[in-house]
């Protein structure tokens, strides 16, 4: 039986009155906070329900497996439990909780309108670790224009000084560039790929300029961190180029990232580059080549240092193994993915792993299960996931529908395949998700033999229209 809300609020108030809880807030020690909540008879399950933070993540904070670093994590704890201003301030947050009837302050707080542009926005949200609210971003973009001029605040003055005088590079400038690199990953899903690639290219050019003016000293920690920022940014540039259908440019960016990984001694970047790159042959049906890349990625993935990366790479390996008909390897890789995900905290992991929330992870389960014959289980997971996906998750919904359509086709359910694929194709047109168009083309080829059926004919006509609309030019 659920505990009455007034009883839970009394328990929370008692916890908030404790001096050790205030001190834990000052230290930003999420693990100690969870421990004190439990001492006050507030369970991890209750905290998870209030804050939206997974119970497994709360448990990992308590056990010291993960450490909370970002403001967004503490905002969830503070907002969900309705902490008083004194504790919010101790956590480094604003004194007042955001009103429930309006958007939270979020990532755009503190970005003055006259200095807004994508690079400054990326730096700000990367520093805060805050997910971008789509409506907030689109409102500002509409007001100012996506091509707003680069601001002339202190951030830019410091960067300009470092670019003209490499000897002036310091911790502050490096932190700002690291935050900007991380912030681009938070923006990527709600800003068109061509805009992301444009500002990323400028960002990489600036970081490269700083690196070229810095002697190659292996003991230079600032230089190493700049190389990591360049590598992480090159990864996302490659992904954006791939989404635009420019595979050659994507491969060049991934090669740059791998070079940076070697110099910075950061195998996680290599693992990510190989995993991103695996999508290129996979989209063409070259699943064997994709799995070779993923096997190499598994050899590089730092399981303990980045469990979210390990979970993602293993899940992709399971997916490609299933597509190759290697059921035993697919299930083995999937078990490895689940084991890594059970201790992962994507929000506190690498920049590229923040996409891997529970819903995203479940898409890999769906793809793997469909291909190894667990159709009913996959369909059940997919139905639940599609029911709760929001408008911003359109690309994810397209991937799920393509997977289900392909499974229907393999089972000989032609009408069902055409219907599901048609709904996915509508999302591809809306989001201009050109990267996944070859997958829907495979379904079109499989349906050609049944083109006299009305549903199939409709899908084939819509596919031809969609291909004309969103397919990239040959490069």
Q: How many CB atoms sit inside 10 A of residue 413's CB?
A: 14
- Written as six digits, the tokens of 199 are 């500002």
Mark the ranges of the chain whose per-residue pLDDT is less than 70.
Answer: 1-2, 94-121, 123-168, 189-190, 390-394, 432, 471-475
Contact, 111 vs 136, CB < 8 A? Answer: no
Q: Which of 311, 340, 373 is the last residue of a domain?
A: 373
- Give the whole-angstrom CA distance, residue 64 versus residue 30: 9
128 lies in the same domain as 261: yes
Question: What is the reported pLDDT for 153?
Answer: 41
Reported for 9-13, long-range contacts at CB under 8 A and 24+ positions apart, including other chains, are 9/82, 11/40, 11/41, 11/42, 12/40, 12/42, 12/81, 12/82
Q: Which of 265, 292, 325 is the last residue of a domain?
A: 265
Residue 198 burial (C-beta neighbours within 10 Å; 0-12, 13-18, 19+): middle
CA angle 420, 425, 430 (to 5 degrees): 135
Number of domains, the chain: 4
130 lies in the same domain as 218: yes
Question: What is the reported pLDDT for 167?
Answer: 62
CA angle 388, 341, 235 (to 5 degrees): 90
Contact, 88 vs 95, CB < 8 A? Answer: yes
Tens-digit pLDDT profile for residues 72-120: 778 889 988 999 989 998 998 865 555 443 333 344 444 443 333 566 6
363 lies in the same domain as 398: no
> Which of 146, 351, 348, 130 is CA-nearest to residue 230?
351
Tens-digit pLDDT profile for residues 301-351: 887 889 999 999 999 999 999 999 999 999 999 999 999 999 998 878 898
318 lies in the same domain as 417: no
Q: Is residue 167 part of a domain?
A: yes
129 lies in the same domain as 258: yes
CA angle 233, 118, 361 (to 5 degrees): 55
Q: Is residue 365 part of a domain?
A: yes
Q: Is residue 150 part of a domain?
A: no
Question: Which residues neighbour 134 within 8 Å (Cβ) at sequence distance 6 or greater?
Answer: 190, 391, 392
253 lies in the same domain as 336: no
Q: Is residue 246 part of a domain?
A: yes
Q: Is residue 154 part of a domain?
A: no
356 lies in the same domain as 296: yes
Question: What is the reported pLDDT for 314?
Answer: 97
What residue numbers bound the domain in which 342 lies? 274-373
Q: Which of 373, 408, 441 is the last residue of a domain?
A: 373
- Written as six digits, the tokens of 76 are 């969830």
139 lies in the same domain as 240: yes
Q: Is residue 445 part of a domain?
A: yes
250 lies in the same domain as 168: yes
261 lies in the same domain as 291: no
128 lies in the same domain as 185: yes
Question: What is the reported pLDDT for 205?
Answer: 86
What spatial distance separates the first Cα and last Cα of the chain, rounded to whole Å? 61
Q: Is residue 153 part of a domain?
A: no
Contact, 229 vs 183, CB < 8 A? Answer: no
DSSP code of residue 66: S
Claim: this prediction has a pTM higher than 0.85: no
- Give the whole-angstrom CA distance, residue 346 versus residue 175: 20
Q: Is residue 34 part of a domain?
A: yes
35 lies in the same domain as 12: yes
């Amino acid at each position: 039986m659920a505990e009455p809300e007034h009883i839970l609020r009394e328990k929370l108030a008692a916890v908030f009155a404790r001096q050790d809880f205030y001190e834990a807030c000052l230290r930003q020690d999420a693990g100690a906070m969870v421990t004190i909540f439990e001492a006050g008879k507030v369970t991890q399950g209750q905290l998870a329900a209030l804050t939206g933070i997974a119970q497994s993540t709360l448990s990992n904070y308590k056990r010291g497996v993960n450490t909370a670093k970002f403001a967004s994590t503490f905002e969830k704890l503070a907002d969900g439990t309705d902490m008083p201003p004194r504790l919010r301030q101790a956590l480094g947050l604003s004194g007042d909780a955001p009103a429930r009837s309006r958007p939270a302050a979020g990532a755009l707080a503190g970005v003055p309108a006259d200095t807004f542009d994508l690079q400054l926005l990326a730096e700000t949200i990367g520093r805060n670790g805050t997910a971008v609210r789509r409506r907030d971003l689109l409102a500002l973009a509409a007001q100012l224009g996506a091509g707003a001029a680069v601001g002339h605040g202190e951030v830019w003055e410091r960067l300009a000084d470092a670019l003209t005088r490499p000897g002036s590079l310091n911790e502050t400038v490096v932190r700002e560039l690291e935050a900007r690199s991380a912030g681009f990953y938070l923006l990527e899903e709600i800003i068109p790929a061509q805009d992301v690639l444009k500002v990323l290219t400028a960002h990489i050019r600036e970081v490269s300029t700083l690196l070229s003016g810095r002697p190659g000293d292996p003991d230079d920690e600032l230089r190493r961190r700049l190389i990591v920022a360049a590598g992480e940014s090159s990864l996302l540039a490659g992904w954006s180029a791939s989404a635009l259908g420019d595979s050659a440019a994507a491969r060049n960016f991934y090669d740059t990232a791998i070079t940076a990984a070697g110099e910075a001694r950061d195998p996680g970047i290599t693992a990510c580059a190989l995993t991103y790159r695996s999508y290129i042959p996979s989209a063409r049906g070259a699943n064997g080549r994709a799995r070779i890349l993923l096997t190499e990625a598994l050899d590089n993935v730092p399981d303990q240092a980045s469990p979210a990366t390990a979970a993602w790479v293993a899940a992709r390996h399971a997916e490609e193994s299933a597509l190759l008909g290697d059921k035993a390897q697919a299930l083995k890789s999937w078990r490895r993915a689940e084991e890594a995900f059970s201790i992962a905290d994507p929000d506190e992991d690498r920049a590229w792993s923040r996409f891997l929330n529970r819903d995203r992870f479940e898409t890999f389960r769906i793809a793997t299960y469909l291909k190894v014959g667990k159709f009913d289980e996959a369909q059940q997971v997919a139905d639940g996931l599609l029911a709760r996906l929001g408008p911003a998750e359109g690309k994810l919904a397209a991937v799920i529908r393509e997977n289900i359509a392909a499974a229907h086709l393999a089972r000989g359910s032609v009408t069902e395949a055409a219907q599901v694929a048609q709904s996915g194709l509508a999302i591809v047109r809306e989001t201009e998700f050109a990267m996944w168009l070859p997958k829907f083309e495979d379904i079109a080829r499989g349906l050609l033999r049944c083109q006299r059926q009305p549903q199939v004919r409709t899908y084939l006509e819509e596919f031809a229209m969609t291909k004309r609309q969103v397919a990239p030019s040959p490069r």
